[in-house]
Amino acid sequence: MRDENCIFCKIANGEIPSATVYEDDGFRVILDMGPASKGHALILPKSHAADLGAADRETAEKLFPLAARIGSAMKAGLGASGFNVVQNNGTSAGQTVFHLHVHVIPRYEGGPSMVAWTPGSAEPEELAQTAAKISAAL
């Protein structure tokens, strides 16, 4: 399924040219136009889903193996020493393009810290209550 107004549908299906790293029947992997580091890639499913929660299972379960493959190729091909796999769902999580995509960001020795947060604190009781709320909604 495609969304005529979606830029990532157009890129994934080849209507808009992109620096393509990989393509198969279900996915296109392109370079991000605003890279966090050299080689920053986006895995785009060819079928439209707004985010991970909306994706079909077949698509979702292929994303991590593909991210691992792309990350390994970044290490072998670009000399990266590691990589981050980042996937944003919803505006509050930083999603700006509402077509499911996975960022694969190569990291280099001595490079800046990019994907980080300040650890908070929580009592064991609060952790248990929060875990129970999520569990109950599964």
Q: Could you say which of 32, 38, 60, 111 contacts ligand 5GP (CB under 6 A)?
A: 32
Residue 7 contacts ligand 5GP per CB under 6 A: yes
Q: Find out whether 114 and 36 touch, Cβ atoms under 8 Å.
A: yes
Does position 114 bind ligand 5GP by CB under 6 A? no
Say which amino acid occupies 91. Answer: T
Q: How many residues make up the chain in this entry? A: 138
Residue 71 burial (C-beta neighbours within 10 Å; 0-12, 13-18, 19+): buried
The reply on whether position 121 binds ligand 5GP by CB under 6 A is no
Check residue 78 and report its DSSP letter. H
9 binds, among ligand 5GP, Zn ion, none (CB under 5 to 8 A by kind): Zn ion
- When binding is defined by CB under 6 A, the residue of 17, 65, 94, 119 that contacts ligand 5GP is 94
Catalytic residue check, 40: no
Q: Which of 42, 45, 68 minimizes the C-alpha distance to 58? A: 45
Q: DSSP label at 84?
A: E
Q: 32 with 23: CB under 8 angstroms?
A: no
Of 28 and 73, CB closest to ligand 5GP: 28
By CB under 5 A, residue 48 contacts Zn ion: yes
- Single out the catalytic residue among 40, 99, 101, 103: 101
Q: Closest distance between ligand 5GP and the C-beta of residue 36, in Å?
A: 7
Which positions are catalytic?
A: 101
